C-alpha cells in the first residue's frame, strides 16, 4: 500500500468547546496518508485560569504523538515550577523530560520520578495503541462480540497504566528496573512527534514549539507567527546537528528526518556526552510569550499538513472570511482541510491534517490595547 492510499479518507473528527473567556473548534483528517499519526489536546479549563491547546504531528508511527496528547499537559500542570507561577519553566521541563525517553540514564545521575514514570508508561501505552489499531482493522470483518473482547483488552491495558502511575506516585518505586531488579534496556520509541502548544493564562499567551507545526495569531486582521518551523537547513539548527555528530543531506537530518526538533526520535538523541538541548534532534522548545489585547481575534494551531498548502497570512485570511458566515469553529477547520486536500496522491495536500482555532471573547481582556510591543518580530 505504501505511504499513500488509493483514495483519501476524508472523514473528520471534530469538536467544539468554550468557557467565559474563549471558544475553540478543532478537527483532524487522515487524508491520503496510509495511517493517521496526528494527535491533539484541547482543555478550556486546565485549571481555574488556564486553557491549553496542543497539536502533535507524529512521524514513523503515532506512539509519541498519542502519548504527548495524553500526558504532556499533565506534566506541565503537575510540575513544581507551575505551582510556583513559572509557566515557561514548567513547559520547557515538560518538553525536555519527554525527550528523556531514552531509557537508562548515565550512572550517578538522579532521574526525576516523573521521567521514570514516562519511560514505563510509554512502553505500556504502545501496547494500548496496538490494540486500538487491531480494533480498527477488525471493524467490518468481525462481529460485535469479537470487537467487545478487543475493547475489554484495551480497557484492561488502560487500567494497568493508571495503576502503575498511581503505584509509582504513592511508593516512589524505580520503574526503570525490570522485574528482577536489573536496569531496564528499554531505549524509548523510534517514532517521533512535533509539539506545538498554546497556553492561555488570564490574558497572557504562551506558545511553545518543537518541530514544524505552527501557531499563528490574527491581530488586527493580520497574521503574526508565534512559532517558527524547525528545519535542518536553518543556520542554528544545522550547527547543532553538525556539532552533535549528525549531518544534513537533501534538507533532512542524516538524510532522513525533514525537521530538526521533535519529541521521540531516540536514535537521533544517543550522544551521551551532550545534554538534551544539544542532541542532533532536540525537544527543546522555542517559547514566545505575549499579552493579549482587544486587537487579538483568534489563534490557529495546526500541523504542517496545513502549512504545506497555505501561508500563515492565507490561513488567517481564510478563517476570518469563514467566520463572517460560519459560527462553528470546527466547521471552519473542516473547510480548510477540504481546501487543502490534494486531488491525487503525491502532491502537496496529501499529509494528515489537524487544526485548532481558538477565538477570544471580550471577557478575556483586562486591559485596553495600547501597543504591539509584545508581538514577536517577523
Claim: this prediction has a pTM higher than 0.85: no
Angle of CA points 51, 55, 56, to nearest 5°: 135
Mean of pLDDT values over 181-195:
64
Share of the chain above pLDDT 70, in %: 72
Enumerate domains of the chain plus CATH numbers: 12-102+187-362 (3.60.40.10)
- Burial label, 294 (beta-carbon count in 10 A; 0-12, 13-18, 19+): middle
| pLDDT tens by residue, 49-67 | 999 999 999 999 999 999 9
Quick check: 41 pLDDT over 60?
yes
Candidate from 95-109, 230-244, 254-268, 269-283 with smallest mean pLDDT: 95-109
| pLDDT tens by residue, 330-345 | 999 999 999 999 999 9
Residues 132 and 62: beta-carbon distance below 8 Å: no
pLDDT number for residue 61: 92
Which residues is 199 bridged to in the sheet? 52, 206
pLDDT number for residue 75: 93
User: What residue has cell string 487524508?
Assistant: 31
Quick check: 285 pLDDT over 80?
yes
Quick check: 133 pLDDT over 90?
no
185 band by pLDDT with thresholds 50, 70 and 90: very low
pLDDT number for residue 2: 66
Task: Give 158 or 18, the one with higher predicted confidence.
Answer: 18
Q: Which of 216, 264, 198, 209 is nearest to 237 (CA)?
A: 209
How far is C-alpha 253 from the geometric centre of its chain's CA atoms? 20
| pLDDT tens by residue, 316-369 | 999 999 999 999 999 999 999 999 999 999 899 999 999 999 999 988 875 544
Mean of pLDDT values over 99-108:
42
Mean of pLDDT values over 178-186:
41
* Three-state SS sequence of the chain: CCCEEEEEEEEEEEEEEECCCEEEEEEEEEEEECCCCEEEEEEEEEECCEEEEEEEEEECCCHHHHHHHHHHHHHHHHCHHHHCCCHHHHHHHHHHHHHCCCCCCCCCCCCCHHHHHHHHHHHHHHHHHHHHHHHHHHCCCCCHHHHHHHHHHHHHHHHHHHHHHHHHHHHCCCCCECCCCCECCCCCCCCEECEEEEEEECCEEEEEEECCCEEEEEECCEEEECCCCCCCCCHHHHHHHHHCCCCEECCEECCCECCCECEECHHHCCCCCCCHHHCCCECCCEEEEEECCCCEEEEEEECHHHHCCCCHHHHHHHHHHHCCCCCCHHHHHHHHHHHHCCCCCCCCCCCCEEEEEEEECHHHCCCCCCCCCCCCCC
Share of the chain above pLDDT 90, in %: 67
Amino acid at each position: 500500500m505504501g505511504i499513500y492510499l488509493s483514495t483519501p479518507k476524508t472523514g473528520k473528527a471534530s469538536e467544539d468547546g468554550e468557557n467565559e473567556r474563549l471558544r475553540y473548534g478543532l478537527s483532524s483528517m487522515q487524508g491520503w496518508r496510509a495511517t493517521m499519526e496526528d494527535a491533539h489536546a484541547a482543555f478550556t479549563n486546565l485549571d481555574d485560569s488556564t486553557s491549553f491547546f496542543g497539536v502533535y504531528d507524529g512521524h514513523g508511527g503515532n506512539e509519541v504523538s498519542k502519548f504527548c496528547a495524553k500526558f504532556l499537559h499533565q506534566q506541565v500542570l503537575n510540575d513544581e515550577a507551575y505551582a510556583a507561577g513559572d509557566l515557561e519553566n514548567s513547559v520547557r521541563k515538560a518538553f525536555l523530560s519527554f525527550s528523556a525517553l531514552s531509557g537508562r540514564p548515565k550512572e550517578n545521575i538522579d532521574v526525576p520520578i516523573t521521567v521514570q514514570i514516562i519511560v514505563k508508561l510509554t512502553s505500556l501505552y504502545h501496547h494500548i495503541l496496538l490494540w486500538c489499531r487491531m480494533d480498527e482493522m477488525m471493524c467490518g470483518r468481525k462481529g460485535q462480540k469479537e470487537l467487545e473482547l478487543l475493547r475489554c483488552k484495551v480497557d484492561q491495558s488502560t487500567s494497568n497504566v493508571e495503576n502503575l502511575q498511581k503505584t509509582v506516585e504513592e511508593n516512589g518505586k524505580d520503574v526503570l528496573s525490570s522485574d528482577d531488579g536489573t536496569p531496564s534496556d528499554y531505549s524509548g520509541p523510534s517514532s517521533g512527534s512535533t509539539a506545538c502548544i498554546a497556553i492561555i493564562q488570564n490574558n497572557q499567551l504562551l506558545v511553545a514549539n518543537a518541530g514544524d507545526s505552527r501557531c499563528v495569531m490574527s491581530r488586527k486582521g493580520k497574521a503574526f507567527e508565534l512559532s517558527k518551523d524547525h528545519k535542518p537547513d536553518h543556520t542554528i539548527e544545522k550547527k547543532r546537528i553538525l556539532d552533535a555528530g549528525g549531518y544534513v543531506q537533501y534538507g533532512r537530518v542524516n538524510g532522513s528526518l525533514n525537521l530538526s526538533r521533535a519529541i521521540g526520535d531516540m536514535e537521533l538523541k544517543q550522544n551521551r556526552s551532550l545534554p538534551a538541548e544539544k542532541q542532533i534532534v532536540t525537544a527543546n522548545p522555542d517559547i514566545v510569550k505575549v499579552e493579549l489585547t482587544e486587537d487579538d481575534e483568534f489563534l490557529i494551531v495546526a500541523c504542517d499538513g496545513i502549512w504545506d498548502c497555505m501561508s500563515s497570512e492565507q490561513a488567517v485570511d481564510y478563517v476570518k472570511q469563514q467566520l463572517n458566515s460560519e459560527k462553528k469553529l470546527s466547521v471552519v477547520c473542516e473547510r480548510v482541510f477540504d481546501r487543502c486536500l490534494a486531488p491525487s496522491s503525491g502532491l502537496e495536500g496529501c499529509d494528515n491534517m489537524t487544526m485548532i482555532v481558538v477565538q477570544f471573547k471580550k471577557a478575556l481582556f483586562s486591559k485596553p490595547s495600547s501597543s504591539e510591543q509584545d508581538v514577536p518580530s517577523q
